[in-house]
Structure formats: structure tokens, C-alpha cells
Amino acid sequence: MTQRADIHDSHSPLVEVRDLNFSIAGRPIYRGVNLDIERGKVTAIMGPSGSGKTTLLRLIGGQWRASQGQVLFDGEDVARQSQRRLFDIRKRMGMLFQSGALLSDLSVFDNVAFPLREHTDLPGELVRDIVLMKLQAVGLRNARDLYPAELSGGMARRVALARSIALDPDMVMYDEPFSGQDPISMGVLLRLIRQLNDALGLTSIVVSHDVNETLGIADYVYVIADSEIVDHGTPDELRQSDSEWVDQFLHARADGPVPFHYPGQSYRDDLLTSAR
Amino acid sequence: MKSGLAQLGYTALDWLAELGRSVLFLLRIIAALPMLGRKPRLLVEQVYSVGVLSLVIVVVSGLFVGMVLALSGYRALVQFGASNALGTSVALVVIRELGPVVTGLLFAGRAGSAVAAEIGLMKATDQLSGMEMMAVDPLRRVVAPRFVAGIIALPLLTAIFSVMAIGAGGGYFVGVTLLGVDASAYWHGIQSSVGIGDIIDMFIKAGTFGAIVTWVAVFEGYYAAPTSEGVSRATTNTVVIASLAILGANLILTAMLFSGG
């Protein structure tokens, strides 16, 4: 499984997106996007709602295929792999969905044990120990007998985080991990993402539109808008950016390149039309 | 007129495309079946879910259908002095037709809709995507066990339905206990008219209907729009399509299986 990964240069980016073009139902989501996800770093993908941030994670995970361009994971084009090979690649990725995506008929313990039971032949006692260690890492060891319906939103995401690192992946992708969280849950998730990344030697991709929180933990940031990367750099570099997009996004301005009014007929023309 | 014809053509093309997609989906399920041998527990859980949990509705319906058949059959037979043939008429109608068909329709309403809703909700809440990202194929883990469970459960439920309809609580109770038909004549009529071939044909029909119901249910659930409306439509479609398919398949199977008898 790791043979090709070993051959690939360990100093090169873990994920390379090259000239990516992607459309949904004729609407372009990406036009010629290029970006690199460096190993061992927390890379944030930011941008307004509907700018295709989650789509990027699905393209990296091989769930969707780009119409043009390449998405390389450790040197391998994820869109051109057999299902068996793609599944081998996915074992090296963890993904935290916005909804948590916990299996609703399994307990917290069984959810975290799920990938271990599916992909390993480890004895039950060892699976139990690993699951308890993962749950301990996210502070929910004593919630192992609860079911997803009994968890708060923040707890569900922490369980999903424990599950996403169950197989000790190389990379974890976080899809809007902070949305809808109270300040305490948000603080816990922020700390966990940074600590797990550093302690486990992970590579993390955080898709979010929570500006201050994400800039606080990210090593590098890409801002996506209007189907393109409009700017990228370290959090400090972005704060100094002169891009109108970045300015509107970072300072939460109501109007700018992303207009307050949905584009269409002018207000004046609309009123005159109804007067006639 | 022209646009009406064009619309009809588009509808027919959409229907054909959907049919083709469902056949391809069935082939993918069949390809995933060998993997089921490694996790038989998944199959046992689903047989319990679609089979055991459907027992109450099947048992109660079997009793009522048997009682009604005995009542209406007695009224017709007694005019010709043939009330002793009541057992024969109830047994043949139940085993050849009503058993598999009514149980299939009940199964579509009880288990088919539940399977479609469950898979549709799993899709809407990203559980299927989550499995894919954990390198677990939802076809193997979620769809294949439910498909096979239907093929196993429906013949067993049909046998239970038939026993209930013909036996002590259903047709026998009304015919013998209430209407006074001779008990030995009732049982002898069944014994002499129902052959092992009828029982085998009943199981063939029920197995086919089980495959139809779960095929429709898993397809509708898997391709449901990930919204509450989409899940609702998937469950409705499952019941409607599976019920019509059962009735159509029953006609074809009856023509094939019983044409010689």
C-alpha cells in the first residue's frame, strides 16, 4: 500500500491540485484551480458559502471526478484509480463531515471501532484499547455507550474526529468543523485539530468560513471565490492582502465582490415594470 | 399535439433510463454478494429487521384473509352441496395466489418502505458518503444484506401467512368451527389437492417477489434526493412500484408455473 508513497518525494506536497476544472449541472465550480497541501501542516480552505469548499474535499477524496485537471494524493491521481486502489488511498485519509456522519444505529464505541473492524483483523481486546485511546484523545471515553441521537452537535463531531483518526491516517479533512458550535465546543475543536495534527504528525485540511478561528490554527490559507483561488498565504500575509475578495471576507463586509443583492434586473426597472 | 407527443417520448426515455440504471445497480449488488459471506451477521440482522418485524402484520392478515375466504367460499359451495370442498378451495387459492401476492404487498408496505427510508436517510445524513470515505463500500455493507434478506424473509413469511389463512385460526375456524363443515373433509381436501409442486411454486413466487421488493427499495433509497421530500418520494415510489411489479410478475409466473396444471 505504501510502496508508491515511499517512492514519491516525502518533501513534496501531500496533495497537489493541478488546473482543476469542475462543474455541477453546467455551473462552473472551479476554473483552473491550482493548490498544494503541504505535509504536516494545517491548511485552511476559506471562502464564502457556495464557493465550492466542500466540493474540493470530495474531489480530493475521489468521491467526485474533475472534468479537467488532476488531484494528486501522494503523487497518485485519485480520479484514475480502480475502486480497490482508491479505497487503499482513502484508508490514509480521514474525513470529518459537517454533519458528523455517524452511523445512527451504532453506539459511540462501535462507530469509532467501525473502520478498525472493517479493515483489520485485530483481536477484540486490542480494538477496544485503540477505540478507548481515540475517545480519550477527544475527551469522550466515558460517552462510549451513548448513541449518536444522544450526543450534542459538538460531541458528535468529536466522536467523528475520533473515528476519522482510528486507522492512523496521514491526512484528515475537516468540513466546516465549527459551524453551529457554541464557544466552548468551538474552542475544544480548535485545540483538538491543532494538537492532533502536531502530536500524530498529520496533514490537515480545514474547510471553513469562520475567519478568526480558522486563521488562529492554520499554517497556510487558500481563499476561494468566484470559482478561483483569489489569494493564498500565511494568516499574517492574508491579513495584509489587498485583494477585495479577501478584504470583504476577512472583515465580514456586507457588500463587495460578493454582492448583497442577488444579481438580476435593477430595482428601478423592477418597480417601473410593476407600475405599468 | 406535437408537444404532447414529445413529452410522452421524453417520459418514456426517462423511464427506460431509470430502468437501465436500476438493472446496472442490481448487477453491482450481485457483484457485491460474495463479500457477504465474510460478514454473515449483517444478513442475520437484516432478516430480523425485514422478516421478524413483519410477522405481526403477516400473521393477522393471514387470519383475516383465511376467514373471509372460508366465509365467501362456503356460501358459493353450499349451493352445490359441495361444502366439503371448502378446504380444497381455501388452500389452493391461498397457496397458489393470495399467499405470495398478499404477503408480497404487505412486505412492500412494511419492510420495503422501511428499507427505502432507512437508506435514503443514511444518504441524506452523509452516512453513505462517510462509509465511502472510510473505504467501505455501502453496496456491500448496506445494500447487499438488505437485498438478500428480502429474498430469504418473504418465502418464510408467505409460508406463515398460508398456514395462518388455512389453519386453525383462519379458514378452519370459520369453516369447521363456525359453519359446521366436516373437519376431516376439510383437511382431506387440502391433502388431496395441494401437491409438493404447489408448495415449491409458492416459494418460487415469494422469492421472486422478495427480490423485486428489496431491489426497488434499495434502488429508490440509494438514489433518493438527500432531502426530506426526496426520502418521502423514495418510500412512496417503493410501495407503488413494488406493488405493481408484484402484480405484473404474478401474472407472468402464474402463466409459466401453473399453465400445465
Q: Of A1-5, A56-60, B36-40, give the lowest mean pLDDT range.
A: A1-5
The Cα of B256 is separated from the nearest Cα of chain A by a number of Å equal to 41
- The one-character DSSP state at A263 is S
- CB-CB contact of A41 with A219 (8 Å): yes
DSSP string, B124-161: HTTHHHHHHHTT--HIIIIIHHHHHHHHHHHHHHHHHH
Task: Write down the pLDDT at residue A276.
Answer: 60
Share of chain A above pLDDT 90, in %: 48
pLDDT, average across residues B11-39: 91
When divided into structural domains, chain B yields a total of: 1
What distance in Å separates the CA atoms of residue B147 and residue B221, rounded to the nearest whole number? 12
Task: Write down the pLDDT at residue A159.
Answer: 93
How remote is the C-alpha of B53 from its chain's centroid? 14
Taking an 8 Å Cβ-Cβ cutoff, which residues of chain B contact chain A? 122, 125-127, 129-137, 141
pLDDT, average across residues B93-107: 95
Task: Compare CB distances from A114 to B122, B125, B134 and report the shortest one's residue.
Answer: B134
What distance in Å separates the CA atoms of residue B132 and residue A65, rounded to the nearest whole number? 14
Task: Compare CB distances from A118 to B122, B125, B136 and report the shortest one's residue.
Answer: B136
Share of chain B above pLDDT 70, in %: 98
Structural domain contains residue A179 = yes
Please write the tens of the pLDDT for every residue from A90-132. 999 999 988 889 999 999 999 999 999 999 999 999 999 999 9
Please write the tens of the pLDDT for every residue from A183-231. 888 888 898 899 989 988 899 999 988 888 888 899 999 988 888 888 8
Kindly indicate the confidence band of residue B158, based on its pLDDT and cuts at 50, 70 and 90. Answer: very high
pLDDT, average across residues B134-143: 93
Please write the tens of the pLDDT for every residue from A242-255. 887 777 877 777 77
Sheet containing strand A93-96, edge to edge, reads A93-96, A171-175, A203-208, A42-46, A220-225, A228-233
In this model, does residue A5 exceed pLDDT 70? no
Phi and psi at residue A107, to the nearest 5°: -70, 170
pLDDT, average across residues A75-91: 91
Share of chain A above pLDDT 70, in %: 95
What distance in Å separates the CA atoms of residue A117 and residue A164, rounded to the nearest whole number? 14
pLDDT, average across residues B41-59: 94
Task: Compare CB distances from A90 to B125, B127, B135 and report the shortest one's residue.
Answer: B135
CB contact under 8 A, B135 and A83: no
pLDDT, average across residues A35-64: 89
Structural domain contains residue A130 = no
CB contact under 8 A, B129 and A101: yes
From chain A, the residues in CB contact with B133 under 8 A are: 61, 63, 90, 93-95, 97
In this model, does residue A52 exceed pLDDT 90? no
Task: Compare CB distances from B125 to A58, A101, A118 and report the shortest one's residue.
Answer: A101
Question: What cell does A193 get?
Answer: 485539530
From chain B, the residues in CB contact with A1 under 8 A are: none
Domain that holds residue A251: 3-92+169-275
Domain that holds residue B182: 2-257
CB contact under 8 A, A63 and B133: yes
What distance in Å separates the CA atoms of residue B143 and residue A43, rounded to the nearest whole number? 36
Structural domain contains residue A229 = yes
Task: Write down the pLDDT at residue A247.
Answer: 79
Q: Of A81-85, B34-38, B105-109, B212-216, give the lowest mean pLDDT range.
A: B34-38
Task: Write down the pLDDT at residue B1.
Answer: 57
What distance in Å separates the CA atoms of residue B143 and residue B33, rounded to the nearest whole number? 10
The Cα of A78 is separated from the nearest Cα of chain B by a number of Å equal to 13
CB contact under 8 A, A103 and B130: yes
When divided into structural domains, chain A yields a total of: 1
Is this complex's ipTM strictly greater than 0.85? no
Task: Write down the pLDDT at residue A263.
Answer: 76
Which residues, at least 6 apart from A84, have a Cβ–Cβ distance to it below 8 Å? Answer: none
Kindly indicate the confidence band of residue B38, based on its pLDDT and cuts at 50, 70 and 90. Answer: confident
From chain A, the residues in CB contact with B127 under 8 A are: 101-104
CATH code of residue A233:
3.40.50.300
Task: Write down the pLDDT at residue B2.
Answer: 63
- CB-CB contact of A145 with A118 (8 Å): no
pLDDT, average across residues B89-107: 94
pLDDT, average across residues B51-77: 93
Q: Of A42-56, A135-149, A253-267, B150-164, give the lowest mean pLDDT range.
A: A253-267
Mean pLDDT for chain B? 92
Task: Write down the pLDDT at residue A1.
Answer: 40
